[in-house]
Amino acid sequence: MTNDIHRTIDAIWRIEAAKLIASLTRMMRDVSLAEDLAQDALVIALEKWPELGIPDNPGAWLMTTAKRRAIDLIRRTKVRGQKYAELSRQLEWVTEEDIDGAIDGEIGDDLLRLIFMTCHPSLSQEARVALTLRLLCGLSTNEIARSFLVPESTIAQRIVRAKRTLSAVKIPFEVPEGAELKERLSTVLEVIYLMFNEGYSATSGEQWFKPVLCQEALRLGRVLAEIAPSEPEVHGLVALMEIQSSRLKTRVRPTGDPVLLMDQHRAQWDRLLIHRGLQALERSQRLGRTWGPYALQAAISACHAQAPTPDDTNWTRIAALYEALSRVAPSPIVELNRAVAISMAFGPEYGLQLIDELSQDQYLKDYHLLPSVRGELLMKLGRKEEAREALLRAAAMTQNTREQELLMKKAADCEQ
Amino acid sequence: MRFMMIVKATTDSEAGKLPSQELIEAMHKYNEELVKAGVMLAGDGLMPSSSGIRISYPEPGGKPKVVDGPFTEAKEMIAGYTLIEVKSREEAIEWALRMPDPHGFGQGEIELRQVYESEDLTSDAEFLSKEAELRKQLMEKQRS
């Protein structure tokens, strides 16, 4: 029974945590303090609810409790001002009236301010991801540590340090405006997509994907689409994640072996997520005059999603979309993908030509997909010996054991 | 994990009578909350069974029987559904509890059902070990 109620409290916490922390950060002007107060409220709930039952409006209950703690804290620090010098300096500008009279503003605005804070450029990339998972997704330190396969203490430290930085730099709790908005928003989107990708494909180790992070990133993306509905790239990112998620279940066999896009069982793709992705893409396109990098990637992903069989893939369109992408977000990886699309649309010899040009690129020197793609194209051209060499080289370069096995198998196939 | 929140039909919903303006607004607000929390995947309301069709197979291997609505036993029919993506069974229950009483005159009923996902199969350790065992047996058979 107590376990049941604890699991229920967990579920309520997951629903309420971000909103609670966001509102408290607005009141206390400090995210660290806000989280502490929210946690205090949770502890009190864990004590009281098993006995008193779950209140009708648990969110409001938690908020009231946290506010009461905040007022207690202000009173105490004022009495013992000297002893708690640091805290009292922090609280100097917050009065009891601020908290008592705090109007429940549009919660979406607070959440948006909070995500701009947890994804602030003054934090390291790793810290942004950890803090966002913790404060906006309500994940415990332990859960975050498990998804990144690092010790819990590492994540705990990362979060403490991040909060300290935010307090020290005195990051205002606001949504950036004007030209700054675009730049800061792209940092937020980057954090969410990084989270998603970390879940989608592990760079090393036995695990091919870690769905928890994918789900959290997608959920956060959907939330962001509601609180920042006029930003085309937000919908572009959501579209990309929805469509990629539609293939989550088909990308791996029960044995753990990866299945490549062209070999996946398309009937098992999640139609609902594809539909949601296409809708999000449409929403993005209605808003944007030009396509941003996420919308373009989503459009490419949509081409695959809309092809009933691999042979129906509109490679000419994909090649054109990659070309557009290489203009707004130039990278050797995009070029590599463009080469693949071109070879599919116009023949392997055209793709190979591009790949060989790319091989000169400094950044791609250690990138295993380059020899991997080169091997595939050579195989199609019947140049088996060269293909085998390239595939073996690719296998030696990747860290992912599953991928390694797949490449070795392909190399062996060349000998037949 | 995915859950379907199924709203059961009532005598009113079967009669095609719309809920009160107040309830419609409350439902709107609730759906908005689901969307804003990023958990709502899809949802629809269904027309009364008077426009429904039932296809049954009274005899195994026999021809299907097609019957036009309306059907009786309102409680066994559904009036609408909402599909949500949540992290736990408890979270699904919590969301379902926050839905306004869908009919408001004593007949409101919501049923929560978890949706099968193939992950359930692939992440199951027992299933994986069975797979592996089967594979081994096949290999041995081929060898002998």
A95-105 pLDDT, tens per residue?
Answer: 666 666 565 55
Which position has the token pair 């379907």?
A: B4
pLDDT of residue A201: 63
pLDDT of residue A278: 98
pLDDT band at B136 (very low <50, low <70, confident <90, very high): low
Q: How many CA atoms lie within 13 A of A292 on its CB side?
A: 22
The secondary structure element, H or E, covering residue A275 is helix A271-287
B3-34 pLDDT tens trace: 999 999 998 899 999 889 999 999 999 999 99
Contact list in A for residue B88 (CB cut-off 8 A) is 7, 10-11, 14
pLDDT of residue A259: 83
Residues in CB range of A70: below 8 A, 6 or more apart: A24, A27, A28, A37, A94, A99
Chain A nearest-CA distance from B116, in A, is: 12
pLDDT of residue A96: 66
Hey, are the CB atoms on A11 and B94 less than 8 Å from each other? yes
Which residue segments constitute the domains of chain B, with CATH numbers given? 2-116 (3.30.70.1060)
Hey, are the CB atoms on A15 and B91 less than 8 Å from each other? yes
Partner residue facing B94 (CB), from A12, A226, A255: A12
Q: What is the pTM for the complete model shown?
A: 0.85
Of all residues in chain B, what percent carry a pLDDT higher than 90? 62
Contact list in A for residue B122 (CB cut-off 8 A) is 249, 252, 254
Task: ipTM value, please give it.
Answer: 0.82
Contact list in B for residue A211 (CB cut-off 8 A) is 119
Partner residue facing B36 (CB), from A10, A226, A248: A226
pLDDT of residue B137: 63
CA dist A248 and A282 (Å) reads: 22
Which residue type, as a one-letter code, is found at position B84? I
pLDDT of residue B121: 46
Of all residues in chain B, what percent carry a pLDDT higher than 70? 80
pLDDT of residue B119: 52
Q: Which stretches of chain A drop beneath a pLDDT of 70? A: 1-2, 78-105, 201-210, 256
In the beta sheet, which residues pair with residue B43? B82
A284 neighbors A221 (Cβ within 8 angstroms): no
Chain A nearest-CA distance from B48, in A, is: 25
Contact list in B for residue A223 (CB cut-off 8 A) is 36-38
